[in-house]
């Protein structure tokens, strides 16, 4: 009888903890120097890794790949973004593909592009609207085609954390 009372108390305690759970959005930002690199050795000579940005300083397009850090305790990515910059004197279109998934289970590819006026910046953002309203529950990376004199300045990931 005592064992049943203890089990009931533990179950009630667990239920009360769930009832008090709090959902919080947590945003982490990183400079692309820490999590981006040229996609192939042939692009490496064009890519300059500055303290606050990664920039294509070559005369042709170059691809970079960025692996974005997510919270391992709650892989419920709400949104992620990269800040893009055009340092040239002409408009430039930067195109990035979000790769969400697992190498062994397949991945989803979501392409976004933005055309920036000379000497301006903007953002490319992926969120639940790009994923049929669902949170991203896998690894997140982006692959970007950077025209000459364009770059990435900051990557952000917003995760939904459930705290008990």
| CATH 2.90.10.10 applies to domain 21-163 | no
16 Cβ partners below 8 Å, 6+ apart? none
Q: Model pTM?
A: 0.78
pLDDT digits 0-9 by tens, 83-93: 999 999 999 99
pLDDT digits 0-9 by tens, 35-71: 888 887 788 888 898 888 899 999 999 999 998 876 6
Nearest to 68 by CA among 55, 79, 57: 79
Q: Where are the domains of the chain?
A: 21-163
9 pLDDT higher than 50? no
| Bridge partner residues of 102 (DSSP) | 106
Nearest to 49 by CA among 68, 61, 64, 28: 64
pLDDT digits 0-9 by tens, 90-141: 999 999 999 888 777 778 899 999 999 999 999 999 998 888 776 676 788 8
Q: What is the structure's pLDDT at 3?
A: 44
């Amino acid at each position: 009888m005592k064992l049943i009372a203890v089990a009931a108390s533990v179950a009630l305690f667990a239920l009360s903890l769930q009832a008090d759970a709090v959902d919080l959005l947590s945003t982490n930002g990183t400079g692309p120097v820490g999590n981006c690199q040229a996609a192939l050795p042939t692009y490496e000579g064009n890519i300059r890794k500055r303290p606050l940005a990664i920039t294509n300083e070559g005369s042709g397009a170059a691809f970079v790949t960025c692996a974005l850090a997510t919270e391992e305790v709650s892989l419920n990515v709400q949104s992620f973004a990269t800040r893009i910059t055009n340092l040239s004197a002409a408009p430039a279109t930067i195109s990035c593909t979000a790769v969400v998934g697992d190498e062994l289970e397949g991945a989803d590819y979501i392409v976004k592009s933005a055309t920036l006026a000379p000497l301006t910046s903007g953002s490319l953002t992926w969120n639940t609207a790009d994923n049929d309203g669902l949170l991203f529950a896998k690894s997140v990376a982006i692959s970007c085609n950077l025209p000459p004199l364009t770059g990435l300045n900051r990557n952000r990931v917003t995760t939904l954390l459930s705290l008990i």
